[in-house]
Amino acid sequence: MAQGKYCNREKINTLEQLQSLLSDTNGKQYYKEMEDLDVDTELLANTIQKTLKQKSRIKTWLEICAHCGMCAESCFLYLANDNDPEQVPSYKIQSTLGEIVKKKGQVSTEFLIKCMDTAWSKCTCCNRCGQYCPLGIDMGIMFGYLRGLLFNQGFVPWEMKIGSGMHRIFRAQMDVTTEDWVDTCEWMADEYSEDWPGLEIPVDKENADILYTVNAREPKHYPEDLAEAAILFHIAGENWTVPSEGWEETSLAMFAGDWEACKLQVESVYDAMKRLNPKRMVVTECGHAYRATVIEGPYWAGLKSGQTPIPSFHYVEWVAEALRTGKLKIDPAKKIKEPVTYQDSCNYIRNAGLADCAREIMSYIAEDFREMTPNREHNFCCGGGGGFNGMGRYRKQRNAGLKVKRDQILATGCKLVISPCHNCWDAIRDLEEVYEIGIRWSFLKPLLIDMVIVPDHLKPQDEEDE
Amino acid sequence: MYEFVTGPLAWLSFMIFFIGVIVRIVLYIKGLDWQLDRVAYMEYKSYGFKGAVRSILYWLLPFGTRGWRYYPFFTTIFFVFHISLIATPVFLQAHNILLQERFGFSFITISECTADILTIALLAAAVFLVLRRIALPEVRILTTWYDYLVLAIAAAPFITGYFAAHEIGNYKFWLILHILSGELMLVAIPFTKLSHFALFFMSRAQLGMDYGIKRGGMKSKGMAW
């Protein structure tokens, strides 16, 4: 069976394989080879038989869909593409996974490329359609399943294959090694200790109250985010730590449909929990990281309880709690005065029920908080979820998809958008770049640092002398 | 002929219907897989139950969900269609007389006039459903011949029943056709898309459990459908 040098069914498990794939700029050769990549129809048929045909949920969904079209307008990509009927969620899944099942896996290379384009550029697995289907059919879940089938066949976007390979090799979505990570922690603690005497980023401290875990982009590209987290924990007087290994929460493997790598990734975090025995985990301001490690992860790891080994919290939960209990106090004079809106991330709001915490935070920090419409569990995907932000092949489609969020933000009249999720943050940054509507966007951490009252004993000595 | 369709054939079709529906429900439940579905069904039964009930009830209620409210016209047609589809045969006087004669029990009944109104409402709703499939691009793209067939199977007992009840044309002919089409529908339920008669409750309950247990139900009031 024909397999390419770059595009094949092999999983990326070594640094050499990863570097080789990375050397193929933008996956040019990769996608060319994909056109000749054979479909392993036997594998496909077996997988469907084993996981789908015998299991009731997805099989039933495909069978009983009443073709009523009520999911159409629930999909931001349908709306963003001028109500294109080919963007109706039900159509997208029936014409891809539906066909594969109907044909018992006997499909062509060309068809699987079409499936790949649909699975990664026409669905962000935001699960909004599932909320609007009278029969309780969740197309987002089915697209997750389809992505898994496609990944196994090698029909996966270049960046996604690299991303899952990163997790397999580095247990992080980027090539951040344990050494890099620990160095960054030390460097940041050092860098900021002049302004924040006593500031620490404790690594591998046992029995701490909080185990803090992050998104690899933070140590890699904006380490100040880590410093900001440390400062806020410092002000709040938390007994916290970061693990030297198992510090990465994200899962590009989940976006890629590489379930094996998903398991490896979350197990590294769960191992850290067991090793260091903290009371609870707090995850940085990232949506998919939280969903991957806290919501879906226990199932990949085979934990019957469906729960992480210790209780796990998203950053917004910690912030809401810290403000509620007075661990962090906001200086009323420094509250956000201008109109401000909040981006509800699908992954921790629709998929984890954290809409209320977000509102609670806004009640403490903003004087003129304005909701987008719709909001909370009914909010639209930012346009960058499910890996959409990171794939060059689908840049055009991603940019088109940003329109719904752009219009939602414009309708609030706000110029500032708070977005405690990396993917939403990126999507909003990019929509400003593409559509120039004159907005700013921010994570919670930098805003909070500007607003909190710093207890005197934590202030630098010379400031007190002034 | 009448004896045959109301005798052995009726027994057979009712048996296929009841057994078929039960088998579909059992297979659905047996086919749930906590790890593959990624929902800890057995660990949090009370959250699961709450989510399931919430998900079914809200969707059974006309305009009970955002989805229903978003499409008011379609929702009206949809509920008229389904309520008539179930209420008319169950509460029809003629059917209940048969039930009483054969099995010694009956349900409350509706007047013939009400039955007529419900029948006509159902047929009008069916026509709207067909027109909607043709008119709206987002529905047209999903529609196949199978959708029309299923709709025809559901509507046939009502057309034939109406003709028989009002003795339009040959009463005996319409009556037998009515019984046959009713039996066809019963038999079709377990084997076609009409299985949503039972699987609606299963699928809704499952998604409700998913939201109730995993996707925030334990950290919030639960999904606002």
Query: Which among A423, A420, A431, A453 is positioned nearest to A341, based on CA atoms?
Result: A420
The residue of chain B with its CA nearest to that of A292 is B38
- Contact at 8 Å (CB) between B137 and A85? yes
Segment B66-85 mean pLDDT: 96
Nearest-Cα distance to chain A for B172, in Å, is 34
Q: Could you tell me how many CB contacts below 8 A there are between chain A and chain B?
A: 158
Neighbour-count burial of A162, counting CB atoms closer than 10 A to its CB (0-12 exposed, 13-18 middle, 19+ buried): buried
Cβ-Cβ contacts under 8 Å, A60 against chain B = 28, 199, 202-203
Nearest-Cα distance to chain A for B40, in Å, is 5
- pLDDT above 90 (res B222): no
Cβ-Cβ contacts under 8 Å, B195 against chain A = 63-64
Would you call B200 and A135 a contact, using CB atoms and an 8 Å cutoff?
Answer: yes
ipTM of the complex in this document: 0.95
Cβ-Cβ contacts under 8 Å, B149 against chain A = none
Most B-contacting residue of A63, A71, A131, A314 (CB-CB within 10 A), to test interface: A131
pLDDT on residue A462? 65
Residue A85: which of B40, B74, B137 has the nearest Cβ?
Answer: B137
The residue of chain A with its CA nearest to that of B28 is A56
pLDDT in tens, A27-36: 999 999 999 9
pLDDT in tens, A347-398: 999 999 999 999 999 999 999 999 999 999 999 999 999 999 999 999 999 9
Q: Is A126 on the interface with B (CB under 8 A)?
A: no
Distance CA A172, CA A197 (A): 31
Residue A134: which of B43, B59, B137 has the nearest Cβ?
Answer: B59
Would you call A55 and B34 a contact, using CB atoms and an 8 Å cutoff?
Answer: no
- pLDDT above 60 (res A71): yes
Would you call A70 and B196 a contact, using CB atoms and an 8 Å cutoff?
Answer: no
pLDDT on residue A463? 53
Which pTM does this prediction carry? 0.95
pLDDT band at residue A420 using 50, 70 and 90 as cut-offs: very high
pLDDT in tens, A253-285: 999 999 999 999 999 999 999 999 999 999 999
- pLDDT above 60 (res A466): no
Segment A14-21 mean pLDDT: 96
Which residue segments constitute the domains of chain A, with CATH numbers given?
39-156 (1.10.1060), 171-324 (no CATH), 328-451 (3.40.50)
Would you call A66 and B193 a contact, using CB atoms and an 8 Å cutoff?
Answer: yes
Would you call B215 and A90 a contact, using CB atoms and an 8 Å cutoff?
Answer: no
Mean of the per-residue pLDDT values for chain B? Answer: 95
pLDDT band at residue A74 using 50, 70 and 90 as cut-offs: very high
- Work out the angle at residue A327's Cα, subtended by the Cα atoms of residues A325 and A328, and round it to the nearest 5 degrees: 110
Would you call B147 and A305 a contact, using CB atoms and an 8 Å cutoff?
Answer: no
Give me the helix-helix angle, A139-153 and A158-170, nearest 10°. 80
Segment A95-119 mean pLDDT: 97
Residue ranges per structural domain of chain B: 2-214
- Whether the upstream peptide bond of residue A374 has omega within 30° of 0, thus cis, is yes
Sign of CA dihedral B100, B101, B102, B104: positive
pLDDT in tens, A191-236: 999 999 999 999 999 999 999 999 999 999 999 999 999 999 999 9
What region, left, alpha or beta, does residue A369 occupy, with left being phi > 0 and alpha being psi -120 to 50 degrees? beta
Residues 406-465 of A with CB under 8 A from B: none
Can you tell me whether residue A380 is helix, strand or coil?
Answer: coil
- pLDDT above 90 (res A1): no
Looking at domain B2-214, its CATH class is: mainly alpha
Mean of the per-residue pLDDT values for chain A? Answer: 96
pLDDT in tens, B182-201: 999 999 999 999 999 999 99
pLDDT on residue B110? 96
3-state helix, strand, coil in chain B (%, to 5): 80, 0, 20
- pLDDT above 90 (res B224): no
Residue A306: which of B28, B140, B214 has the nearest Cβ?
Answer: B214
Q: Is A82 on the interface with B (CB under 8 A)?
A: no
Most A-contacting residue of B203, B204, B206, B210 (CB-CB within 10 A), to test interface: B203
Would you call B196 and A135 a contact, using CB atoms and an 8 Å cutoff?
Answer: yes
Q: Is A344 on the interface with B (CB under 8 A)?
A: no
Distance CA B67, CA A136 (A): 11
- Contact at 8 Å (CB) between A451 and A331? yes
Please state, as a whole number, how many other Cβ atoms lie within 10 Å of the Cβ of residue A230: 25
Would you call B31 and A55 a contact, using CB atoms and an 8 Å cutoff?
Answer: yes
Most A-contacting residue of B57, B141, B199 (CB-CB within 10 A), to test interface: B141
pLDDT in tens, B14-29: 999 999 999 999 999 9
